[in-house]
Amino acid sequence: MLADCQSFYASVEKAAHPEYRDKPLIVAGDPTRRSGIVLAACPIAKQYGITTAETLGEALGKCPDVVVIRPHMQTYIDVSLMITEIFESFTDLVEPFSIDEQFLDVTGSLSYFGSPEEIARRIQVKVMMYTGVWIRVGISSTKILAKMATDIWAKKNETGIFTLPKSDVETLLWPQPINKMFGVGSRMTAHFQRMGLATIGDLGSLPLPEFKRKLRARMGRNSDIQAELFWQTANGIDQSPVKPSSHDVQKAIGHQMTLPRDYSKPQEIDVILLELSEEVCRRSRAKGYMGSVVAAGAQGTDFDRPTGFFHQMAVPDPTNITMEVFTAAKTLFYTHWDRLPVRRLGVTLSKLVPDDQYQLTLFGNREKERKLERVTDAIRHKFGTTSILRASSLLKAAQARDRSVKIGGHYK
């Protein structure tokens, strides 16, 4: 199954504010400044033509009376975790796909809870009772088919449940437009249409070697893996199991920040690079990792025509010490920066190893620095992330205090 929460953020807000039950409601940016984008719109708001990702101003133009609520990200995370616990009362095989979508394998639960459709209905009732969120469920024999069953059918029908058997792929899935296939965006849709592939069946019915040849001619010789993935999706082929631990393996720890304005002065950029390095190292220490590769990147001010870079370098010894990562990030940044204003910066630590064993060094006093950082981590954990700050985080360019009240760029 793929269980999807309808208009998740908006549904959580309506559950918290019953007085808005019959009113159009959106979750967006900063209502006091009438800025930002729409993160979620309830079904009533969508009837006015309001869509996710449009600006708040555009939404207000379509429906001046729409209720606008600022996002509360910590609440949404808490409700998502509560929904996960509900799913786990039906099966121990639950794999989060996003904050509002999760895969479930209920094969072993059929003898306890009934048919897949009955389990889906029970899930809907229980989640609605506990959270006020309506769940749509796509059911099939593979994750990819369950996902498309949700997106194409379950989200559209009144029951919110749809079963797509593997045997019905040719009759139900193949007639659908190619842009309905999972993983196919507007750019890929244009490529497929120029190749004469208007429906999912046009792609799925092609022999794989022929489709590889067509895509290679269109997108270059390195497209064979992509071609095989698209072809398997069109045919409902997906060997990946539902694995609760699929997101547990940490390969890198990074942090990016979109800045409130253009930064062009090195002294301002250094403040942000230090705050990013500190956050990356704090999270690394919390998870028990060190990294031997540091990466730094930047993006220019024009998001419609992205410019920038992302480069990495190895450090002499695995580290999660802030100043060591900051030094490497600065080296990378100033080596590749074109001196044009930047609007986004990022720092990443990768090639991770456990931090319980490390090589002692003859020079410097890394153990003293480790102890100092462990103490500051403990203070922040007990009293809040801004309870102890570097002096540079008090400068105008700094973002640490503002970001401390946000999750993912949105207010908690």
Q: Coil, strand or helix: which one is 255?
A: strand
Residue 302 CB neighbours (<10 A): 11
Q: List residues forming the annotated binding site.
A: 4, 100
Q: Which residues contact 78 (CB under 8 A, 6 or more apart)?
A: none
Residue 275 annotated among the catalytic residues of the structure: no
**What is the number of helices (H) and of strands (E) in the chain?**
15, 14
- β partners of residue 362: none
Residue 315 · residue 324 · CB < 8 Å = yes
Catalytic one of 13, 101, 275, 279: 101
Dist. CA 340–CA 21, nearest whole Å: 48
Residue 68 · residue 28 · CB < 8 Å = yes
Torsion of CA 156, 160, 166, 170, to 10 degrees: -20
For β-strands 308-319 and 161-163, DSSP reports them as unpaired
Backbone angles phi, psi at 252, to 5 degrees: -160, 155
Instruction: Show which residues are catalytic.
Output: 101
